Structure 1
Amino acid sequence: MIKKITFFICCLFTISTTFSQSKDAANTIKIFGKVIDAKTNQPLEYATIIIKNTKTEKVSGGITDLDGNFSIQLPKANYQISVEFISFKSINFPAEEITSNKNLGTIKLAEDTNSLNEIVIVAEKSTVDIRLDKKIYNVGKDMTVKGGTASDVLDNVPSVDVDPEGAVSLRGSENVRILIDGKPSALVGLNGADALRQLPSDAIERVEVITSPSARYDAEGTAGILNIILRKGKAVGFNGSVNVTVGDPQNYQGAVNLNMRTEKVNVFSNFGYNDRKGPGNYLADITYLSNGAIDSLRTEKRNFDRNRAGFNGNVGLEYYLNDDSSITGTVFVRSSNNNSYSTNNISSFDPSGNNLYNSVRIQDEDEKDESLQFSLNYANNFNDKGHKLTVDYQYNASNEFESADIFDTNLEFNSTKEISIDNLFQADYVLPIGESAQFEAGYRGNFQDLTSDYLVVAPNLDPRFNPSNNLEFTQNVNAFYTQFGNKINKFSYLLGLRAEITAIDINLLTTQENYKKRFTDFFPTVNLGYEVNDDQSFTLGYGRRLRRPRSRFLNPFENRASETVISKGNVNLDPTYTNSFDLGYLNRWGKLTLNSSIYYQHSTNNIVRVNREEVRIINNKETNVLVREPINLASEDRMGFEFNANYNPSRKIKLSGSFNFFQFETNGEYTYDITNPTTNTVTSVTQDFDAKNTSWFTRFDARVSLPLDIEWQTRLFYRGPRSDAQSDTDGVFSANLAFSKDILKDKGTLVLNVSDVFNSRKYVTNAFAPSRENPTNISNQTFQWRVRQVSLNFTYRFNQNKSQKERNQQQRDDDGGGDEF
C-alpha cells in the first residue's frame, strides 16, 4: 500500500510539473474581482462577467462563484468589460488596453427597481462543484433523486455511501458528522437514519463534503462533515415552484417552495408531504456449532412492509436592518407517522436436516416523530472587505414514541418514548488584516437533555436479560476556537485551534446506575494550499477530531425483531480520537476537471460494532443468542485515495465519476463472560479483533441531451467487498435511470426516475461468532432495505425562467468559471 501511495504522489507532482511548463504565461493576463449586492453587501453568485475584445469582436467571460468572486485568464488585448445580474443594474467599464493582471476590486450592483415585478431568474447549478476545501453536490439538476429523500441525496454524493439500515459513511467510515445549514439540527432527529428518510430531496439545495474541516467547525466526526444546505430563496419579487411525485411501490409526495423579496424583507418557505411504502426483506441462515461439529440449523425469513407518512414545513424571514446588517428568523416543523409490519418465518433443523420446529414471529410497530426547530441569526457586516460578526441561537425539541406488538408463541409488547431538548448558542467574528490575511474567533455551545423510557413485556423473557430501562442523558459541550489565515503569492495557509469542554451525565433509572464523563480536549487544524497556476493547485490538511457516542449507542435497549439476533447499545462507551491527514490535488484541462486526494487517519479508542454470544432460555430451552453491540477497541489505521472527475465533451454530454479506495487495519481484544443459565457457571471469552482489509467503491454519472429536448441521466454505483475480524460482506451494484422533459413553455418539467433498475441493491454478509478461528455459530444474512422504485415527478415553476438559467449554466460549463481557488 505504501508503494502505491508513493507512486500516486510521484504521479501528482509529475503531472503538475508537465502542465505548469506547458502554460505560456508571457502573453496572458488575469482579470479578477468580486461582485456584491450594493444594498446588503452580500455576494452575488452567478453574476455574469462579459468581456469583449474590441479588435476581434470575440466575446468571452465567466460567472461569479459562491462568494461573488471571479477570475478570468485571457490574452493581452483591448477589452470592454460589463457586469450583469438579473434584476440589478449593469455596470459597464470603458474599453482599455490590458497588458497586465487587472483587479476590478469590489463591484457593487444596485437593484433595478423597475424590474422588481418582472420574471425572476433562478440559477440551476451543475451537479458537482469541486472546490479546494470541499466538494459541493448541487441537488437542482440531479434527476435521479427526484421524488426521493435526504438519504437518497446523500447516497448519490461523491465519497459518501448509505447502507441498507440508513447508516451514512464518508470514505468508508461511519464516523461522519451531519449538519443542517452548518449547525446540529432537529431535522436529523433522534434517529438520524429515519429522519433523513423523512426529509424530501426537494427541500435540499446542496450538500457540502468537508474532509479537512477548519477550527471553525465542530470537532465531532472523525471522517469529516456533511453539511446539508436547505433551500432559501433570495431572488427579488414573488416566485416559487410546486412539486408532485407518484411512484410504485407507493410513493406519493407533494412540495411547495415559495419566496418573496422586497428591498427590506426576504420571506422564504418550503412545505412538503410524503406517503411512502417501502417493502424489504431479510434472510438469515444460522449454523450452530459444538466442538467444530454442527449442532443445529436455524433459518429466518423476514419480510417488511413499511409505511411512512409525514409533513415538514420551513418558514423564514430575513429583515435588512440597514445596508450592513440583517436579522433572520426560521421555524421548522416535522411530523411523521410510520408503521412497520414484519413477518419472520423461523425454522429449526437438526444436523441431518430434519425439521425440529417452525414458528412465525410477527412485529407490528408504530412510530410517531415530531420535531420543532426555531433559529435566530444576526449578521453585521462592518465593511465590504469581510469584517463581520454573526450571532446565532437555535432551539430544537424532538419527541419520538414507538410501540410494537410482537406475536410469537406468546404475545410480547415493547415501547420507546424519547424526548430531546437541544439549545445552541454561537458567535463568529471575522477580521480581515491587510489585503490577504484574516483572523477569526468564535464560540459555540451545544446543550442537550434527553430522556428515553424503554419497556418490554414478555411472558417468556429470560429475567436476566430484561432490557427495560429508563435513561436520562445530558450532554453539554462548550467550544472556543480561533484561526488565522493568509495568502502569500501562490501559497496560502489557515491555522486554527479549537477547545471543547464536554460534560456527559447518564442515569439508568431502572437499575439506578449513574455515569459521569468529563473531558477537555484541544483540536489543532492546519490547512495549506499552493496554486501552481489558475488551473492547478495542491492542498494539505491536518486535523485532530473526535467521535462522541450518541445516546442510542449508549442506551442498552435491545431490538426485539428476532429472539436470537439482537442489537443493543453500550453505556460504557468512550469517545474515539482521530488524527487525520489529507493531501489533495486539483487540475483542470479545458473541459476536464480532476480532484484527487490521498488520506490517512489514525484512531484510538475506536468504536466498532461487534458480535458476541449469550446463552438464554427461549421456549424453555438453552439457546445461543447473537448479540451485536458497540465497543471501544484499541486503534484503527485507515488510508486510501480518491479521485473525482467532471468531463463535458459537448453541450449535450456531461460525464462525471468518482473512485475511492481505502485500507483499514484494526487492533484490539475484547473480553466478556458467558453465564450458563442452568449451572450458573461463567466462561470468559477473549476475542481478537486484529484485522486488515481493503475495499473500494465507485460511481459513474452521465447526462445526455436526446432529440425532442429530452434529458437522460444514468448513474451506476458499485461498492466492493469488505471484511473485518468477524464478517465478510459481498460487493453491491446498483443502477439508476432518469428521463426529463420540459413542458408548458419551460415552466414545467416531467421526470421519470427508476431507482435500482436491476433490483440488485442487496447486502450479503457472512458473520462468525465469537471469532473466525473458533466460531460457535455462523450466520449468512441477506438484507434488502427496499425494492426497485419507479416514480414520476412533475415540477411547475411560476415567475422563474428556465431557459435563462440553463443559458447561465451553459456559460459556466463552457468558460469554467465559478470554481473557488
Structure 2
Amino acid sequence: MNRYLFVILLCICSMCRIMAQDIISGKVVDENRSPLPYVSVVLQHVQDSSYVCGVTSDTEGVFRLPVQPDREYALLVSYIGYTTVRKTCKVGNVGTIVMKEDAVMLEEVNVIASRIRHNANGYTVNLRSSDIVKGKQSADALAFLPGISKEDNSYKINGLPVSEIYVDGIKLANMDELKNLPADMIERVKVNYLAGSNQNAALTGGTIDISLRQPPQGGYYGSLNGGATFYPDYGFSNENVGGVIRYRYKNLNVYDNLSLNFNQPEETAAQTVWNQSTDLRTQIDEETKYRGHHINNRLSLTQQINENHSLGASYYVATNRLKASSLTIGSQENAICPTIESKDNYLDQEATLKYTAKLGRRGTTLDITGDYFNRQSDNHTGYSYGDNTSDVSEDESSLDMYKLSVDVTDPRSQKLVWKYGASVQYIVSDYHPAIGVSNQTDRFQTSQTATTTKGLTPLAYVSAMGQIWKINYSIGVNWQLNEIKYKTSDDGIESSDTQWGINPTVQLMMPLDKKGEYMLMLNYKRTLDDIPYAAISSTVRWSDPYNYTVGNPDLKAPTADMLIAGASLFRNLLNLTAVYSHTKDNIYWETRQNPGASDVFYTIPVNLPSADFYGIGVELNLNPVKPWRMKASGRLEIHPEDVTLDGVYYGKTRLRQYYAIYNTFAFNHGWGGMLNLICEPTFKTYDRTYHTIYNIGGQVYKTMCKDKLQLTFMFNALGDRRKYDRYANGNKVTYDFTTPVQYVGFSLIWRFSGGKQVNVNAIESGSQNFKEIKDVIR
C-alpha cells in the first residue's frame, strides 16, 4: 500500500504547475489594528470578475498571492462578522487592510453552520459573537461544535478520542485550562478530523486548535472567577478560584492561565463477587473520603524580533496534593475490614521554546521547537486491619522527556503547499520503591524492584496540501521508530524492543455545490502508537483490598489502519460519518484472579492480536427558535471479537451506542442557560459488561454590569453512574459506583479589559506528546 501512496503523491505533485510568479501581498487587521487570521482573500479579473486565485491569511493576518505581472486585479477580502473589502491592485504590497465589524450581522442570531469553512483536514469555525460561547466556559462550548462530543470528561471527534487540544498553538496539559477559560474569549476553532503526518503517528484521533481574540493594540483583557459545588450527601467540594489574562506590550505578547482547586469529595461503592460454580456471593461496601488541592499555571510569552523573526516561550507547572481514606466492609463475619490511607504528591513542569522565521518572497516558514517535560511523584499508602496489624508501601517515580523538532512550510503556488520536517523525542522514566517497609500480610504486596525505562522516537515526514479540480487534498507520509529499553535495577537485566513504520495520511474534501452547502470527505491514516511507558512498568497499585493493577513489561505499541468517510448536508445542519479501524497489538486491560488469594482480582494490560471497529454517526444541528440552539447526535459502534483471554474464547459481535442532546439558550437582558442529556446503553466488550448510564444537567446564568459580571448556577438533576461486571476464572465481579450524581453549584466571573495601543504579532508555541496508559475504569 505504501508504494501506491507514494505514486499518488508524485502524481499530485506533477499535476501542479510550479511557476515563477510575482506576488500580491498584504496584511488584514481589525479596527483595533489586531491581526485577523483565516480571512478569505480572493483575486478576480477586473474585466469580467472571473476567479483568479485565493488564499486565507496566516496567523498574523498576512496573505500572499502569486500572480502574473503587468496586470490589474480586483481584490476581495471577506470574513464572517465583518464588512467585505473590495479594491483594485497590481503586483506588490497592498499594505494593511482594515476590516470593520458588520453591525447588522452581529445583532442577528447566527446559525453555527454559516460560520464554518471546510478544508481537506476538517473545518474552521468563527465563534466571535456566537450564541454557543455566551455564558459558558470553553470546556462546555466545544461540545456544541459539529462532530465533537464530550464523554467522560474527554472529547471525541467523530467518535474517536481527540489526540491534542491547543490554545493559541500551545498544547494543553490539563483540562482545567479549558474549564478556567471563558468561551467568549475564543475567536475561532480549527478542527482536524485526524492528526497530520507532521505529528506523532500515535495520534490517531483529530486535534482541536483554539485561537483566542487578540487584545487591542497595547491592551489587555481577561477574567477572574471563583465557585463551589454542593453535594447533598456530603456538602461542599470543588471550591476553585482562577484567572486568565492576555496582555500586549510593544513587541511582547503575554498569556497566563492560573487556577487553584480544593476538593473534598466522598464516594461510595458496592462490590459483589459471585463464584458461579459454588453460587457463593460476597458483598463488599466501600466509603472513601478525599482531601486535596491542586494548582495549575500556564505562562506564555511571545517576542516579535522583527517582521520576519519571532520567538515564543511557554512554561507550565502543576502541583497536586491528595489524601484519601477508605473503609471497606465485607458482608461475611470473617471478611477483611481494612482502612487504606494514602498520600499522593505530583509535580509536573513543562517548558517550550519556539523560533519562527519567514524566508523568501513566497512566504516559506521555518519553525524550530524545543520541549522539556518533567513529572515527579511520590506515594505513601498505609493499610490497617482490625487485628492491629498493618502494611505500608512507599514509592517514588520520575519522568523526563526531551523533544526537538524542525518544520518547514513552503507554499509553491495558490494550489500547492509543501510541508516537511523531522523531530526526535527521548524519554527516561524511573521507579523507586521504598525497601524494608512493613509487609505483615500477603494481601497488599507491592513491587520491590526498582526499574528504569528509556525510549527514543525519531520521526521524519513530508506532506502536500492543495486543490485539484474541486477536490481539496492533504496527503503525506512519515517514518517513525520506537526504540524502548527496560531495565531492572536489582539484577541489571535489560530488555529492548524496536518498532518502526512508514505511516501515510490522506485527507480529501469535495464540495458538491457552489455555495458549499454540501460536501463529502474521506480520510485515511496508518498509525504507530506511543511506547506504552506507564503500562510496561512492574508497579502494583491497589485500589481497594480486593483489586489492584499491575504493569506488563512485554507490551508492544499498537498499530492501526483507520478510514473515515463523511458527508455534511445543508451547511452542517446534518452530518453523517462512517469509521473503520483495524488495529494490531491493541492494549486491553484483562481481569485475572490472584493465585494466592481467591477473593482478590487484578487487571493487567495485554496486547490483542488484532481488532476491528466499525462505526456510524448521525448529527443534527438545529436552531428551532431564535433563543434556542440544539445539537442532537447518535452513534453506533460494531466491535467483532475473535480472541482468547485467560483461557476463555470471545467470538461475538458487540454493539455500543451513544446518544447526546446539547441545548443552549440565550435570552434578552443577559439571561441564558444550557441543558444537556447523554445516554449510553449497556454494552459488552470481552470480559466486561458496562451497564447503562445517563445524565441530565446544565446551568443558568445572568450577566450584569454591561456583561462584565456573570453569575452562574450549575446543576445535575438526574443520572446513573457507572456499574460494570468483570469475569475471571468462573467469578463474576460487579462494581457499582453508588454515589448520587445530584449537585448544585455556582460560579462568579468578572471580565476586565484596558491598556494602551502598541503593535505586536504573536506566534504559536509547540508542545510534546505524553500520555499515560491505564485502566480507565479502575
* Pairwise same-fold verdict (TM > 0.5): yes
1:434 aligned onto 2:413: yes
The answer to whether the 8 A contact 1:221-1:545 is kept is yes
1:310 aligned onto 2:294: yes
Aligned pair partner of 2:528 in 546, 567, 583 = 546
Structure 1 residues 41 and 636: CA distance shift in structure 2, 3 A: farther
Task: Render the CA deviation track for 1:570-626: whole Å, top value 9, x for unaligned.
Answer: 11111111100111212235xx62332111001112211111223215xxxxx3432
1:763 matched to which residue of 2?
722
Aligned pair partner of 2:574 in 594, 601, 618 = 594
SS at 1:552's partner residue? helix
2:202 matched to which residue of 1?
220
1:400 matched to which residue of 2?
377
Aligned pair partner of 2:700 in 732, 736, 739 = 739
Aligned pair partner of 1:609 in 555, 579, 589 = 589
Structure 1 residues 798 and 203: CA distance shift in structure 2, 3 A: closer
Task: Render the CA deviation track for 1:234-262: whole Å, top value 9, x for unaligned.
Answer: 54233222122222232221122222224
Offset, 1:488: 2.1
Equivalent residue runs for 1:572-583 within 5 Å: 572-583=554-565
2:401 matched to which residue of 1?
422
The answer to whether the 8 A contact 2:327-2:339 is kept is yes
1:269 aligned onto 2:256: yes
2:517 matched to which residue of 1?
535
Structure 1 residues 91 and 782: CA distance shift in structure 2, 3 A: closer
Offset, 1:106: 9.3
SS at 1:394's partner residue? strand
Offset, 1:315: 1.8
Structure 1 residues 39 and 144: CA distance shift in structure 2, 3 A: closer
1:44 matched to which residue of 2?
36
Structure 1 residues 662 and 779: CA distance shift in structure 2, 3 A: same
SS at 1:698's partner residue? strand
CA distance in structure 1 between the partners assigned to 2:613 and 2:168 by the alignment:
26
**Normalization by structure 2: what TM-score?**
0.77
SS at 2:535's partner residue? helix
Structure 1 residues 733 and 247: CA distance shift in structure 2, 3 A: same
> What is the one-letter code of the residue matched to 1:782?
D
Offset, 1:705: 2.8
Aligned pair partner of 1:660 in 606, 620, 635 = 635
1:804 matched to which residue of 2?
none
Structure 1 residues 705 and 576: CA distance shift in structure 2, 3 A: same
2:315 matched to which residue of 1?
331
Offset, 1:516: 0.6
1:515 aligned onto 2:495: yes
SS at 1:745's partner residue? coil
Structure 1 residues 567 and 736: CA distance shift in structure 2, 3 A: same
The answer to whether the 8 A contact 2:629-2:665 is kept is yes
CA distance in structure 2 between the partners assigned to 1:714 and 1:145 by the alignment:
13
Structure 1 residues 126 and 476: CA distance shift in structure 2, 3 A: farther
Task: Render the CA deviation track for 1:500-559: whole Å, top value 9, x for unaligned.
Answer: 122111112246442211122110111122121222211111110122353221122222
Structure 1 residues 198 and 650: CA distance shift in structure 2, 3 A: closer
The answer to whether the 8 A contact 1:339-1:365 is kept is yes
Structure 1 residues 654 and 766: CA distance shift in structure 2, 3 A: same
Offset, 1:763: 0.7
Structure 1 residues 251 and 476: CA distance shift in structure 2, 3 A: same
SS at 1:495's partner residue? strand
Q: Percent identity?
A: 15
> What is the one-letter code of the residue matched to 1:177?
S
2:471 matched to which residue of 1?
491
Task: Render the CA deviation track for 1:38-85: whole Å, top value 9, x for unaligned.
Answer: 999996148799xxxxxxxxxxxxxx9986699xxxxxxxx9988799
1:625 matched to which residue of 2?
600
The answer to whether the 8 A contact 2:135-2:710 is kept is no
CA distance in structure 2 between the partners assigned to 1:707 and 1:433 by the alignment:
50
CA distance in structure 1 between the partners assigned to 2:490 and 2:662 by the alignment:
52
Structure 1 residues 371 and 110: CA distance shift in structure 2, 3 A: farther
Offset, 1:108: 5.3
The answer to whether the 8 A contact 1:666-1:692 is kept is yes
CA distance in structure 2 between the partners assigned to 1:109 and 1:657 by the alignment:
42
The answer to whether the 8 A contact 1:543-1:580 is kept is yes
Task: Render the CA deviation track for 1:7-41: whole Å, top value 9, x for unaligned.
Answer: xxxxxxxxxxxxxxxxxxxxxxxxxx996359999
CA distance in structure 1 between the partners assigned to 2:361 and 2:748 by the alignment:
41
Structure 1 residues 171 and 573: CA distance shift in structure 2, 3 A: farther
1:562 aligned onto 2:544: yes
Equivalent residue runs for 1:68-467 within 5 Å: 93=86, 109=96, 131-132=118-119, 133-134=121-122, 159-160=148-149, 162-163=151-152, 177-178=163-164, 180=166, 188=173, 196=175, 200-202=179-181, 210-222=192-204, 224-227=205-208, 229=210, 234-239=215-220, 240-248=222-230, 249-289=236-276, 292-294=277-279, 296-348=280-332, 356-382=333-359, 386-409=363-386, 410-455=389-434, 457-462=437-442, 466-467=446-447
The answer to whether the 8 A contact 2:180-2:243 is kept is no
Structure 1 residues 670 and 737: CA distance shift in structure 2, 3 A: closer
2:651 matched to which residue of 1?
690
Offset, 1:386: 4.7
CA distance in structure 2 between the partners assigned to 1:218 and 1:496 by the alignment:
13
Task: Render the CA deviation track for 1:794-820: whole Å, top value 9, x for unaligned.
Answer: 21122279xxxxxxxxxxxxxxxxxxx
> What is the one-letter code of the residue matched to 1:236?
Q
Equivalent residue runs for 1:795-814 within 5 Å: 795-799=749-753
Equivalent residue runs for 1:712-751 within 5 Å: 712-751=673-712
CA distance in structure 2 between the partners assigned to 1:66 and 1:308 by the alignment:
43
The answer to whether the 8 A contact 1:233-1:268 is kept is no
CA distance in structure 2 between the partners assigned to 1:38 and 1:182 by the alignment:
18
Structure 1 residues 199 and 299: CA distance shift in structure 2, 3 A: farther
SS at 2:474's partner residue? strand
Structure 1 residues 341 and 168: CA distance shift in structure 2, 3 A: farther
Structure 1 residues 566 and 302: CA distance shift in structure 2, 3 A: same
1:119 matched to which residue of 2?
none
Offset, 1:357: 2.1
SS at 2:450's partner residue? strand
1:25 matched to which residue of 2?
none
Gaps of 5+ in 2: 1-24, 42-55, 64-73, 100-109, 231-235, 756-778
SS at 2:337's partner residue? strand
Offset, 1:469: 2.7
SS at 1:580's partner residue? strand
Aligned pair partner of 1:470 in 443, 450, 466 = 450
How many pairs does the alignment contain? 679
The answer to whether the 8 A contact 1:535-1:587 is kept is yes
Task: Render the CA deviation track for 1:458-481: whole Å, top value 9, x for unaligned.
Answer: 534439965333221111111000
Structure 1 residues 126 and 402: CA distance shift in structure 2, 3 A: farther
The answer to whether the 8 A contact 1:143-1:753 is kept is no
Offset, 1:407: 1.7
Structure 1 residues 543 and 360: CA distance shift in structure 2, 3 A: same
**Normalization by structure 1: what TM-score?**
0.74
The answer to whether the 8 A contact 2:111-2:623 is kept is no
Structure 1 residues 147 and 168: CA distance shift in structure 2, 3 A: closer
1:500 matched to which residue of 2?
480
Offset, 1:629: 1.1
Range that drifts further, 506-515 or 725-734: 506-515
The answer to whether the 8 A contact 2:163-2:195 is kept is no
CA distance in structure 1 between the partners assigned to 2:308 and 2:460 by the alignment:
26
CA distance in structure 2 between the partners assigned to 1:37 and 1:357 by the alignment:
75
CA distance in structure 2 between the partners assigned to 1:789 and 1:230 by the alignment:
33
